[in-house]
A and B are shown apart, each in its own frame.
Chain A
């Protein structure tokens, strides 16, 4: 047979390798900074740009999309070329993909610190960047599909299936969740409201974990683990079951993020069922990975690469067991909104994604630079600091989360809350925050050691930019294979279509009813759209990222109705574009905070939280009393919201600013009477107006009914 000569492109892999290591450090250092800010609020440096609410999305996005994202592309570009025995489809597309992705990351970092955010977790980027992400993702998709079409190896190895599923699903998720109506260049509103927005968001959020942090990394595992262990995967049959059942089931499980929320019961149950079923394929994958090392465990002792991979796969197994358990309603009641969830995601991020990336880097860099790893000892040092770091991190978060949750729920024998002051439950777990920060610090020390080690390795070797290889051209499929799974494995287009169908079934069943059946969200007559001032205040709440620490969702438990007031109803959120339920209570829930305190309390609390709550960990927001509210956008905001269904009367946008000024004057007058001299045009006035409105519509109803 005629052999064709061609060259693998290592230069693009090198670019992504450098980016992976670079963003790892940035993302993790921001993580450490915000962990320390929870201990020492002053570490926000007194600047709006570096407060917790703005840096937390920066940390999560940097780790997920910058560190892990570049890791995915590094591994995909390396393995795909070798598995298809062909160069990437187009070098220009590869470069456009690389630089486009780095541009997105830089834009993300800049816009987050400036406060441009949609508030939807892991989808915080504003609409112009959303469009850019879609474009770059399509470039990646074309590059991969093009490579598959001109491949020389007929069968697509299991790793490639995971890459295909990733590309298709991330595109679907990103586009559906990012449908928003622009107001200005850096401000938009989600077209979905309230419960619907929550459902779409967590369908996205859950599957961002599934198809950005899991499936591509499973693909990498199926390639790099056998390579590093120098033996084929344990069971190819198991990998087929693993793949199809994982992508089929994962997509349904989103609502487990919304248990005991105002989401309809059937959707909550659906989320729980599929979350439980997910254990099977997840553990199938883990077992397949670990058993690949059967008879080769002696190598694990010797090789830092395998050490990292074994811990990564074990962490994958742990967090995919924990996830379904946390989606059981009774455990969820205990853990939701607490630090336990932070511990859970970090077992995944630090253990699974982090350690697998490190394993791949330690294998890949010596390979591409044609040399040996500079120091095995340093790699072992990295392994142990990283490992101990994870243990510190996870155990402190589990302990702290559980402690705080039990304190929230503790009643005295007389039937009153034992810890009615929320702050008491926060201060109780501060030692755990210290241990967490220490764990994170250790982990970063390890990563720095790795970067030094890899740089020294690269320096000692010589980079191979192009690797020349020979392989026969693609042959036509064999007819005898027609009836088995091998049929689909040699047809990338058909494969992509079937994978898309598998993920769409779950997505459709979960989301369509919420779209079409209006009765899923019972409306409440007394719930009215926000006034223009409250609307502006709400956007300040979003800009400052208040939702990163405060939920707006009182669950139907006695411990919560006692503490916060009436539990939240779906109908109360119908005008919330976007929803602001939050996912973590570092501070108390705010859904019933309206009219609970006088305006002047809020004023002092925002200027310096510790004057109202001694020992509070909330950062001060003095600039809100200094900066004037930008009211030039009011009319545009009202019009935008009306176009997506908020019933502001026609022409309301013309009088909106008059109403805004009137309401602001009333609040300012009230504050001045209480001895606080403040102008009516400050941002803080709008924020107070919003906070005082929160959850009060339903109270108005009760009063009038009586």
Chain B
């Protein structure tokens, strides 16, 4: 029964092709974008949640 169900996936050939193209375009674009970002800026931004409180004034760095 299990073997029967897990046998073949219909039309599996097209999945990797569509997937590859989309992955490639979106992710390379994004990767280029984010690796051009300034490290200090990234640190500053990841610390934004800590800047706004009265009781928690010190700013943390990585």
Chain A positions near chain B (C-beta within 8 angstroms): 79, 81-83, 85, 153, 155, 157-159, 223, 226-227, 230-233, 236-237, 240-241, 244-245, 248, 265, 269-270, 272-273, 276-277, 280, 328-331, 333-334, 406, 409-410, 467-469, 471, 481, 483-486, 489
Report the separation of the CA atoms of residues A668 and B42 in the bound assembly, to the nearest whole angstrom: 75
Chain A contacts of B26 at CB under 8 A? 244-245, 248
Given contacts A272-B15, A273-B15, A410-B1, contact A155 B37 (CB under 8 A): no
Q: How far is the CB of A487 from the nearest CB of chain B, in Å?
A: 10
Once A265-B11, A467-B54, A486-B37 are accepted as A-B contacts, the answer to whether A226 and B1 lie under 8 Å apart by CB is no
Shortest C-beta distance, A103 to chain B (Å), equals: 32
Question: How large, as a class, is the contact surface on chain B?
Answer: 35 or more
Identify which of B14, B35, B52, B60 contacts A83 (C-beta below 8 A): B52
- Cβ–Cβ contact A157 & B22, under 8 A: no
Report yes or no: A333 in contact with B5, Cβ–Cβ below 8 A: yes
CB <8 Å contact, B33 and A481: no
**Cα A453 to Cα B43 with chains together (Å):** 37
Residues of A near B37 (CB, < 8 A) are 237, 484-486
A81 to B51, CA, bound (A): 12
Contact across chains for B34 and A82 when beta carbons are under 8 A apart: no
A159 to B49 alpha-carbon distance, docked (Å): 10
A158: B residues at CB distance < 8 A: 45
A499–chain B nearest beta-carbon distance, Å: 14
Q: List 13 A-B contacts (CB under 8 A).
A: A83-B48, A85-B52, A155-B45, A232-B49, A236-B45, A237-B34, A240-B33, A248-B26, A277-B19, A277-B22, A467-B54, A483-B36, A484-B38
Whether the pair B52, A469 counts as a contact (CB closer than 8 A) is: yes
**Minimum Cβ distance to chain A for residue B30 (Å):** 5
Flag if B15 contacts A406 (CB, 8 Å): no
* B44 neighbours in A (Cβ, 8 Å): 155
Question: Known: A277-B19, A330-B5. Contact between A485 and B49, CB under 8 A?
Answer: no
Q: For the complex, what is the distance from the CA of A520 to the CA of B38, rounded to whole Å?
A: 49
Q: How far is the CA of A597 from the CA of B30 in the complex (A)?
A: 60
Residues of B within 8 A of A486 (CB): 37-38, 41, 45
CB A530 to nearest CB in B, in angstroms, measures: 33
> Which residue of chain B lies nearest to A245 when distances are taken between CB atoms in the complex?
B26
Contact A240 B18 (CB under 8 A): no
* Residue in chain B with minimal CB distance to A265: B11
- For the A-B complex with A237-B35, A276-B15, A483-B36 known, give 10 more contacts whose Cβ atoms are closer than 8 Å: A157-B45, A232-B46, A237-B34, A269-B10, A269-B15, A328-B9, A329-B9, A330-B5, A469-B53, A469-B54
Contact A329 B62 (CB under 8 A): no
Contact of A155 among B10, B48, B53 (CB under 8 A): B48
Is the Cβ of A223 less than 8 Å from the Cβ of B49?
Answer: yes
* A277 with B23: CB separation less than 8 A: yes
Report chain B residues within 8 Å CB of A237.
34-35, 37, 42
Complex Cα gap A153–B26 (Å):
29
Complex: A287 Cα to B62 Cα, angstroms? 18
Residues of A within 8 A of B42 (CB): 236-237
Given contacts A232-B60, A241-B34, A334-B5, are A329 and B48 in contact (CB under 8 A)?
no
Question: Residues of A contacting B10 with CB < 8 Å?
Answer: 265, 269, 329
Interface centre among B14, B26, B27 (most CB of A within 10 A): B26
| Cβ–Cβ contact B49 & A83, under 8 A | yes
| B1-26 interface bits toward A, Cβ cutoff 8 Å, 1 = contact, 0 = none | 10001111111001100110011001
Q: Pick from A269, A334, A469: contact of B11, CB below 8 A.
A: A269
Q: Which 7 A-B residue pairings sit nearest by Cβ, starting from the closest? A: A82-B52, A232-B46, A157-B48, A236-B46, A484-B37, A236-B42, A237-B34
- The interface residues of chain B lying within 8 Å CB-to-CB of A485 are 33-34, 36-37
Residue of B nearest to A155 (CB): B45
Q: Which B residues are in CB contact (< 8 Å) with A276?
A: 15, 19
Which residue of chain A has the shortest Cβ distance to B1 in the bound complex? A406
| Interchain CA distance A406-B18 in the complex, whole Å | 33
Alpha-carbon gap, A489 to B37, bound state (A): 12
One of B1, B8, B45 near A330 (C-beta < 8 A) = B8
> In this complex, what residue of B is CB-closest to A328?
B9
> B46 — which chain A residues lie within 8 A by C-beta?
226, 232-233, 236
Q: A328-B9, A485-B37, A486-B37 are in contact. Are A232 and B19 (CB under 8 A)?
A: no
B residues less than 8 Å from A471 (CB atoms): 52
**Complex interface: chain A residues within 8 A of B51 (CB):** 85, 153
Of the residues A79, A233, A409, contact of B1 by C-beta under 8 Å: A409
A491 and B15 CA atoms in complex are apart in Å by: 36
CB pair A245 B48 closer than 8 Å: no
B19 to chain A minimum Cβ distance, whole angstroms, is 5
B47 touching A232, Cβ below 8 Å: yes
Chain A nearest CB from B17 CB (Å) reads 9
Query: Whole-angstrom distance between the alpha carbons of A265 and B14 in the complex?
Result: 12
Contact status B14-A269, CB under 8 Å:
yes
Would you call B1 and A481 a contact (CB within 8 A)? no
A481 and B1 CA atoms in complex are apart in Å by 59
Measured between alpha carbons, how far is A651 from B24 in the docked complex, in Å?
58
Chain B residues with CB below 8 A from A481, complex form:
38, 41
**Chain A minimum-CB-distance residue to B35:** A237
